[in-house]
């Protein structure tokens, strides 16, 4: 797919839009900054951290896309910086894609349930329909690429209100498995010129499957979502990353809020992306994977557990006879799990925690 045909899928009003031009975008150089109606100081005595207080940074609007952070993320994922957009969590990336591509009341997205709920919610907010091509439960929730392609092509063509975005989550939440790479690429190729395929790799660091990021150069209609919320342990900082063709990053930059990366967040992210911190995140992911294996084996031996699905993520999905009963017992013990029964009957999703937390899970479930 050429970038021209990629851009032809974008809402025409967004292509025509003159974006807001913030003071920080327009300014360059100078040492007396009186262009953005900021306060010359931060009067509050208690700033969040010494580093920020020293820099006096909080009285200033941040860089819209902090260059150093963009550069480190580009190097982390092995892409050029013009393919990177930093967002408030990858949830914001999902929302921006919906707003860029889907016209309210006309266009649609396609999801593969059971999957992450925010795709359909973001579509609902935008007034876009959600079509589905379910994962195949009998094959450990594998993606059926023929079904995805047929469902996307069965809908009316773009312009007449067709499927503009296909969301594929790999490893998939809540089921845990990575989607087959060839199957995903078949979808990308078959829908070239027709739809953009968004591969959500929020849990990629816990999987040995290679990232689809390497395919971005060859496939203009491929977008990959990553996040620092999981393997980097920064869920509270809200740092998501949209990786895409530079032309599409340019479109998303037109509609993103003027200053989406708060200064303290950029600091936290930069600290998480030093070579030492990246190595620590890799070690931590490795330990979580080890714990995942230990917990999966132990869970499979408990009478209350009917099935444990194999997982490439930092959680396990289990099937029990009565998920409501299990959730109540867990709650009674002070253990908070996630009932996923509305996705897959009688299932509960368990995040892998510390070794002690995981032992507690096993202890509580063993009592059932």
Ligand X SMILES: Cc1ncc(COP(=O)(O)O)c(C=O)c1O
Positions touching ligand X (CB under 6 A) are 89-91, 116, 169, 173, 200, 202, 227, 229, 235, 240
- In the complex, minimum distance from the CB of residue 5 to ligand X, in angstroms, rounded to a whole number: 27
At residue 288's C-alpha, the angle toward residues 283 and 292, to 5°, is 150
Cβ contacts of 284 within 8 Å, gap of 6 or more? 231, 233
The nearer residue to ligand X, 45 or 336, going by C-beta atoms, is 336
- In the complex, minimum distance from the CB of residue 17 to ligand X, in angstroms, rounded to a whole number: 25
Preceding amide of 108 cis, omega within 30: no
Token pair listed for 341: 């029964």
d(CA 117, CA 111): 9
d(CA 243, CA 220): 11
- In the complex, minimum distance from the CB of residue 116 to ligand X, in angstroms, rounded to a whole number: 4
- In the complex, minimum distance from the CB of residue 36 to ligand X, in angstroms, rounded to a whole number: 28
d(CA 354, CA 303): 23
The nearer residue to ligand X, 122 or 188, going by C-beta atoms, is 122
d(CA 278, CA 232): 8
Q: Which residue is nearest to ligand X (CB)?
A: 89
- In the complex, minimum distance from the CB of residue 201 to ligand X, in angstroms, rounded to a whole number: 8
The nearer residue to ligand X, 19 or 117, going by C-beta atoms, is 117
The nearer residue to ligand X, 178 or 227, going by C-beta atoms, is 227
Burial bucket for residue 31 (CB in 10 Å: 0-12, 13-18, 19+): exposed
The nearer residue to ligand X, 118 or 188, going by C-beta atoms, is 118
């Amino acid at each position: 797919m050429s970038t021209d045909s990629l851009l032809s899928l974008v809402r025409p009003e967004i292509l025509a839009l003159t974006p807001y031009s913030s003071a920080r975008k327009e300014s360059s150089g100078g040492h007396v900054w009186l262009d953005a109606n900021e306060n010359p100081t931060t009067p509050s005595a208690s700033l969040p951290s010494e580093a920020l207080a020293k820099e006096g940074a909080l009285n200033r609007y941040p860089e819209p896309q902090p260059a150093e952070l963009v550069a480190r993320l580009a190097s982390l994922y092995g892409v050029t910086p013009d393919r990177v957009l930093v967002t408030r969590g990858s949830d914001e990336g999902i929302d921006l894609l919906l707003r860029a591509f889907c016209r309210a009341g006309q266009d649609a997205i396609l999801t593969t349930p059971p999957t992450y709920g925010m795709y359909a919610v973001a579509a609902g907010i935008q007034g876009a329909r959600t079509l589905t091509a379910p994962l195949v439960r009998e094959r450990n929730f594998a993606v059926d690429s023929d079904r995805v392609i047929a469902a996307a092509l069965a809908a009316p063509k773009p312009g007449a209100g067709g499927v503009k975005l296909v969301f594929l989550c790999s490893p998939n939440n809540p089921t845990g498995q990575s989607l087959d790479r060839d199957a995903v690429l078949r979808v990308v190729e078959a829908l070239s010129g027709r739809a953009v395929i968004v591969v959500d790799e929020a849990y990629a660091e816990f999987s040995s499957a290679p990232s689809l990021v390497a395919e971005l150069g060859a496939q203009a209609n491929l977008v990959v979502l990553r996040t620092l919320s999981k393997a980097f342990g920064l869920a509270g900082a809200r740092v998501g990353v949209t990786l895409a063709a530079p032309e599409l990053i340019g479109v998303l930059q037109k509609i993103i809020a003027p200053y989406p990366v708060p200064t303290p967040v950029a600091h936290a992210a930069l600290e998480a992306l030093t070579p030492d911190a990246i190595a620590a995140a890799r070690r931590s992911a490795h330990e979580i994977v080890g714990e995942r294996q230990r917990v999966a084996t132990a869970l499979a031996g408990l009478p209350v557990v009917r099935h444990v699905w194999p997982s490439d993520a930092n959680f396990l999905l289990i099937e029990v006879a009565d998920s409501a009963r299990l959730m109540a017992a867990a709650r009674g013990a002070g253990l908070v799990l996630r009932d996923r029964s509305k996705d897959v009957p009688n299932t509960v999703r368990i995040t892998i925690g510390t070794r002690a937390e995981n032992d507690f899970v096993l202890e509580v479930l063993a009592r059932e």
